[in-house]
Amino acid sequence: MVRSMMLTSQPTFLVGRDGAQADVVVMDATVSRQHAVIINSSSATFIQDLDSAHGTWYDESGRTLHVPRLGVKVGEDPVKLIEGSTLRFGSLKSTVFRVTGLEPQKVEKWQPPAWADVPARDCRLEVRSNTVSNPYLAHLDAGGDVEEVLPLRTRCTSFGRSAQHVDYVVKDDSVSRQHAAVVHSPDGESYLLDLGSSSGTYVEGRRVSEQVKLSDGMAFSLGTCKMTFTYRMAAPSGGKRKR
């Protein structure tokens, strides 16, 4: 049987046989009442033996064999834990503790679909923050002026909170690291895709779950961020753009 326990909610976790004192209870005669302690610091997590009778064993290679005392015996000095390592307490061989979650989960950069192509005609996004910081502009409606024009010249433009993963960074807590993207098709259409965000992508105030074809003047937003993006595209040759 496999069980898991989060060890990030407090600075230390006591391991031992005494259920009245230990945070992690290990019921075995070879485990001391107060056997070892797991210590969380601002930079790392450590294991320290508390002068137990039968020892604490640390295996950096992460072997999960049910073999007692496998690895290096932990002394009175704290030992830094690494991702995937295993711990054994006393002579217990039926239970092995694996350490996970020390390293942040790696997020791969989203890749556009194979059908994506460079836009067939000029298109752009008008960016509005929808906040008025200049008192001399207070007479204007919030977001009345375009604050930035974002040209859309590549196969796709992604939006999110992580500068390492997206083309346009939106610094808002409700925005996911990789939140949404505008993708262009070979037939000249542009689509808005939500990239599995937690707080949603909204077109004209409605949350979308599938890709949405964008038309001139259509506005979208991310999460609860007040910033809006209005899609604009050039009119076909000889035509006029709708306003």
With respect to residue 239, please indicate whether it lies within any of the assigned structural domains. Answer: no
Q: Which residues contact residue 173 at a Cβ distance below 8 angstroms, ignoring those fewer than 6 apart? A: none
Residue 223, judged by CB atoms within 10 A of its CB (0-12, 13-18, 19+), counts as buried
Co-location of 150 and 96 in the same domain: no
Which of the residue ranges 42-56, 208-222, 228-242 would you say has the lowest mean pLDDT? 228-242
- 221 touches 229 (CB < 8 A): yes
Give φ, ψ of 137 to 5 degrees: -105, 10
With respect to residue 111, please indicate whether it lies within any of the assigned structural domains. Answer: no
Co-location of 160 and 215 in the same domain: yes
Domain stops at, among 65, 100, 135: 100
Give DSSP secondary structure letters for 84-152: T-EEEETT--S--EE---SSPPP-PPP---TT----SS-EEEEEE------GGGTTSPTT-S--EEEE-
Question: CATH number for the domain including 34?
Answer: 2.60.200.20
Residue with the two structure tokens 């604490």 = 56
Please report the pLDDT score of residue 242 as a whole number. 45
Between these two residues, 228 and 107, which has the higher pLDDT value? 228
Measured CA to CA, the distance from residue 57 to residue 64 in angstroms comes to 12
Co-location of 96 and 153 in the same domain: no
With respect to residue 157, please indicate whether it lies within any of the assigned structural domains. Answer: yes
Measured CA to CA, the distance from residue 44 to residue 47 in angstroms comes to 10
Band (pLDDT 50/70/90 cuts) for residue 138 is very low
Measured CA to CA, the distance from residue 35 to residue 54 in angstroms comes to 9
Please report the pLDDT score of residue 237 as a whole number. 54
Which of the residue ranges 32-41, 57-66, 131-140, 228-237 would you say has the lowest mean pLDDT? 131-140
Residue with the two structure tokens 């107060």 = 34
Between these two residues, 34 and 103, which has the higher pLDDT value? 34
> What is the overall mean pLDDT for the chain?
87
Number of domains in the chain: 2
Quote the domain boundaries for residue 57: 2-100
Residue 134 has pLDDT above 60, yes or no: no
Which of the residue ranges 87-91, 94-98, 136-140, 230-234 would you say has the lowest mean pLDDT? 136-140
